[in-house]
Structure 1
């Protein structure tokens, strides 16, 4: 069961599971901690998992003023301090991977390793156009179901649309008691669209695993490869047949791969 935690003056909703080495999970655009349910459930037998709602998502309030990726990275660092976690394996997907990059740059001490799923270092023209569409789509879709049906076209594989997984995820999102407001979605979107670490990736010192889905439309593999090439010693892998969120679609594959990576990091320390 989660709880609200004051992290250096910021109220963050936090979910924690399991025992073992610490893992911090960073969610992406619009997603609460529950987006990581397959990892909260599937990794808690080996790790102490911490996930939380970013500002403006789930139960964490939307603050006044603009959001930014560096500010959300500072939130993550403050949470680690508040929970007295000296070092954690950090994993982020999509916008959460942007936060993870900034966390490793701004607060390298507690970052034991990085897993960056569906990531990029600097938005390209296609991504900027896509996010501009999402910005007005969330306002003009005829209802919330129609908005999610459209949004998830960029997120999940054709397989997930065909086998009913997307329908189930939409039903769960519509039943969620803490839906994200249009304003919060748009402000998070602006923050993530402004992400840029391309010229600073060489300063990241944490061991890094960069994962990309072969079919990802939003952050295609070439963008993840660019991130991996910029981080000294980073490993880059493409997951065949997967899209933007394989940690949800094929959690066993994702969990097995990241667990192997964390064990490699731990063995080298």
Structure 2
């Protein structure tokens, strides 16, 4: 299991490099409460064209979950550190929700390291103290992650998808339920304290913003607002809730590949 020691934390990652040694790199960043497996619907298609790096955000999956709270600076630094660890000078980036928030910071602060950036189901300011502080406290309780699971999953997908895709949801619930409570809570606090609205307005890279029409966590209105901050940003809205890459996997995959494949 590949682990990179970054900023005092071991970060788990996976590389799919079937496209060959000359293919561009693409970094995928997970949402809060998920891990590298959330990108399973896209990996095969993406790996036909790119060397794909997936990683578990600190506090998730097989990455370490040091005591928090965490900061957006740490989440950004972990990605830059992973690029350095792998010897990657420049890459494309695609992040969803928390991963998208991290992507805003990366595009604003480290434009020299990225070519094109996909910011999916995210916003430059997500939620508020009234949302994140109680959720962090709940996650730190014994059995807290299990008690949060059903309410969170209900916001991640539309009701028809939930009724139709029970096997898919079983895997997603399992990952969420077994996420380290301290890691989840510490990332809640990183999201709570991150306001990247001013930084988003400085982004000069090609950006695709993807939103879900039925997303209650980061709404389509917030997606349009984010795209409006970034000169030249493209906006795509899918008939999905929060985890649009899973609910509308084919449309999502096509939108990202079309965007990344454009010539400068």
What does 1:1-269 correspond to in 2, within 5 Å? 2-7=1-6, 9-18=8-17, 19=19, 20-124=23-127, 128-138=129-139, 145-165=146-166, 168-171=168-171, 173-174=173-174, 179-239=178-238, 241-264=239-262, 267-268=263-264
CA RMSD of aligned residues (A): 2.3
Kindly state the Cα deviation for residue 153 of structure 1 after the two structures are TM-superposed. 1.2
CA deviation map 1:183-227 (0-9, x unaligned): 221111111122211112221121000010000000001111111
Give the gaps of 5 or more residues in structure 1: none
Q: Is the 8 A contact 2:145 2:176 kept in 1?
A: no
Structure 1: distance between partners of 2:188 and 2:73: 14
Of residues 42-51 and 140-149 in structure 1, the stretch that sits farther from structure 2 once superposed is: 140-149
TM-score using structure 2 length? 0.90
Number of aligned residue pairs: 260
**Residue 122 and residue 34 in structure 1: after superposition, are their counterparts in 2 closer, same or farther (change >3 A)?**
same
Distance 1:225 1:12, change over 3 A: same
Q: Distance in 2 between matches of 1:214 and 1:99?
A: 22
Unaligned runs of 5+ in 2: none
The whole-number CA distance in structure 2 between the counterparts of 1:95 and 1:71 is 13
TM-score using structure 1 length? 0.88
| Shift in Å, 1:242 | 0.8
Give distance in 1, aligned partners of 2:4 and 2:144: 33
| Residue 92 of structure 1: how far off its partner (Å) | 0.5
